[in-house]
Amino acid sequence: MDHFLYKDGQLHAEDVALEDIAEAVGTPFYVYSAATLTRHYKLFSEALQPLPHQVCFAIKSLSNLAVLKLLGDLGAGMDVVSGGEYLRAKAAGVPGERIVFSGVGKTREEMKLALTGGIRQFNVESEPELHALSEVAHWLGLTAPITLRVNPDVDAKTHEKIATGKKENKFGIPISKAREVYAQAARMPGIQVVGIDVHIGSQLTDLAPFEAAFQKVAELTEQLRADGHTISRLDLGGGLGIPYTRSNEAPPLPLDYGAMIKRTLGHLGCEIEIEPGRLISGNAGMLVSQVIYVKEGEDRTFLIVDAAMNDLVRPSMYGAHHDIVPIVEAAPGAEMQDYDVVGPVCETGDTFAKSRAMTVLHEGDLLAFRSAGAYGAVMASEYNTRPLVPEVLVQGDHFAVIRPRPSFDEILKRDTIPSWL
Ligand code: LLP
């Protein structure tokens, strides 16, 4: 459930008409609902009760400071994958003890930043990374709490570009090698083993692959404890999928996911950490755009809109589907037409939808891409020198621009022409 509903024929985010935001901010823009973000965070937190747990929002999905502050104030921790994301979490007021650091290529600089600024744990993904972390921590006279991310060789049955838990993927340490690497870790200066980490992929719409992976983690927990390690935390990653179409998708709910976690891991007495991104932010955001032209092709009609692949790359990158709805509610039985919805970027890949049946639209009409809160704004670029789309946060009947659209002046000023030209 989200808080984007038609009221009096106008699409609203909570109690604010999107048309009012469009008038104030211009299009395109991203808009997020504070109530939806809050609701989704709480669903996870409640689903894990009564186990001791920490929900760490995967900020790669949506990293605006206002969103992080909102979630952080509710008690959320953060899952970060770069020094930049770490600094975002801190700038939003999230204490180090609620931040976990994931990612296959953490640099020594990033390790130092997190060790000195405070960190709940590093999720270490390889032996060379473990050696580097030991060196950095030892040199600083500090101790790095760690889990090892194990790769359970489980097929997540999701898009190949976002599956991470098979042995051919670059992520984690093969689970068959885990005991050996834990033994090494226990002997290293500056390293303190605290648990196990696993993340098998994103947009999973079935609990079975999660369960298979978590069962392997349960077995490994017993083995590692028998080997003498302290395993007090299990970080289970993120990945729970969301419905991208209103009609025919019903992925498992956080409550089902929580019940499965309790069933497979509850007996171990560990603190459970999860790193959901998309399920918290995805359906909490929309991208609002305006029709520039309706162009009649030879055998199709193109709806040329002012958002493009640089603003929302998921359709061109993953062939992802986003529902597209008009801001003015269609009358019952209104005439429908098939459109190819495209942006102004000079690439055929700049296509949001093909032959999409929509109510008849005209130049100047506003429309919204649903489920765009996750991996939308964060993956945007300035390709074709198109300014990054602004972000707006709605709460109740008020809204605020939480990242303004940069001016062309600001964009051009970032380049420097060397004196010798
Ligand atoms: N934890 C780790 C270690 C991850 O790599 C990810 C996502 C998450 C948590 C959060 O997963 P989520 O709950 O959001 O599924 N750009 C792609 C998705 C990439 C996901 C990368 N890792 C997309 O637009 O679908």
CATH number assigned to the domain comprising residue 10: 2.40.37.10
Mean pLDDT of 185-214: 97
Mean pLDDT of 326-354: 96
238 and 107 both lie in a single domain:
yes
Tokens 């502050």, located at residue: 69
For residue 196, give the CATH number of its domain. Answer: 3.20.20.10
The answer to whether residue 101 scores a pLDDT higher than 90 is yes
Domain count, the chain: 2
The answer to whether residue 159 scores a pLDDT higher than 90 is no
Mean pLDDT of 211-233: 98
Residue 417 included in any domain:
no
**Cβ of 264 less than 6 Å from ligand 1:** no
Tokens 């823009």, located at residue: 29
In the reported structure, the alpha carbon of residue 287 is separated from the centroid of ligand 1 by a whole-number distance in angstroms of: 20
| pLDDT at 195 (0 to 100) | 98
Q: In sequence order, which residues have a C-beta less than 8 Å from that of residue 262 and are 6 or more positions away?
A: 48, 51
Mean pLDDT of 160-167: 76
Q: Using omega within 30 degrees of 0 as the cis cutoff, is the peptide bond preceding 50 cis?
A: yes
- The β-bridge relationship of strands 301-305 and 324-326 is unpaired
110 and 132 both lie in a single domain:
yes
Helix locations, 323-388, DSSP H? none
Separation CA 53–CA 406 (nearest Å): 39
List residues with catalytic annotation: 346
| 74-88, 226-240, 241-255: the lowest-pLDDT one | 241-255
Residue among 41, 100, 80 nearest 283 (CA): 41
Q: Whose CA is nearest to atom 8 of ligand 1?
A: 238
Residue 18 included in any domain:
yes
Query: Is the separation of the CB atoms in 274 and 58 below 8 Å?
Result: no
Mean pLDDT of 409-415: 98
Partners of 137 in the β-ladder? none
Q: Given pLDDT bands bounded at 50, 70 and 90, which one contains residue 169? A: confident
266: burial class by Cβ within 10 Å (0-12, 13-18, 19+)? middle
Residue 137 included in any domain:
yes
Mean pLDDT of 152-181: 85
Separation CA 22–CA 29 (nearest Å): 8
Residue 350 included in any domain:
yes
Residue among 178, 195, 279, 208 nearest 238 (CA): 279
**Cβ of 237 less than 6 Å from ligand 1:** yes
User: pLDDT averaged over the chain?
Assistant: 96
Range of the domain at 240: 103-274
Query: Is pLDDT larger for residue 407 or for residue 156?
Result: 407
Give the three-state DSSP class for 91.
helix
**Cβ of 294 less than 6 Å from ligand 1:** no
pLDDT tens, position by position, 130-155: 999 999 999 999 999 999 999 999 98
213 and 334 both lie in a single domain:
no
Query: What atom of ligand 1 comes closest to residue 241's alpha carbon?
Result: 15
Residue 253 included in any domain:
yes
Separation CA 219–CA 262 (nearest Å): 15
In the reported structure, the alpha carbon of residue 61 is separated from the centroid of ligand 1 by a whole-number distance in angstroms of: 7
Query: Is the separation of the CB atoms in 102 and 72 below 8 Å?
Result: no
Percent of the chain with pLDDT over 90: 93
DSSP 8-state secondary structure symbol assigned to residue 387: P
12 and 137 both lie in a single domain:
no
Backbone angles phi, psi at 243, to 5 degrees: -75, 125
Write down which residue in 251, 274, 297 finishes a domain.
Answer: 274
- The answer to whether the pTM exceeds 0.95 is yes
| 1-10, 116-125, 312-321: the lowest-pLDDT one | 1-10
Mean pLDDT of 268-288: 98
Six-digit token pair at 253? 């709910």
263 and 408 both lie in a single domain:
no
| pLDDT at 269 (0 to 100) | 97
| pLDDT at 150 (0 to 100) | 96
| pLDDT at 151 (0 to 100) | 94
Separation CA 20–CA 201 (nearest Å): 38
- The β-bridge relationship of strands 285-296 and 301-305 is antiparallel
pLDDT tens, position by position, 284-328: 999 999 999 999 999 999 999 999 999 999 999 999 999 999 999
Residue 71 included in any domain:
no
263 and 295 both lie in a single domain:
no
| pLDDT at 94 (0 to 100) | 98
329 and 238 both lie in a single domain:
no
265 and 289 both lie in a single domain:
no
Q: Does an H or E element contain 254, and which?
A: helix 254-265
Write down which residue in 274, 291, 320 finishes a domain.
Answer: 274
165 and 308 both lie in a single domain:
no
347 and 233 both lie in a single domain:
no
Residue 92 included in any domain:
no
Query: What atom of ligand 1 comes closest to residue 314's alpha carbon?
Result: 24
**Cβ of 376 less than 6 Å from ligand 1:** no
20 and 168 both lie in a single domain:
no
pLDDT tens, position by position, 360-401: 999 999 999 999 999 999 999 999 999 999 999 999 999 999
Separation CA 30–CA 32 (nearest Å): 7
Residue 55 included in any domain:
no
DSSP 8-state secondary structure symbol assigned to residue 389: P
The answer to whether residue 163 scores a pLDDT higher than 90 is no
Query: Is the separation of the CB atoms in 79 and 102 below 8 Å?
Result: yes
Write down which residue in 274, 301, 324 finishes a domain.
Answer: 274
195 and 268 both lie in a single domain:
yes
In the reported structure, the alpha carbon of residue 279 is separated from the centroid of ligand 1 by a whole-number distance in angstroms of: 10
| pLDDT at 161 (0 to 100) | 78
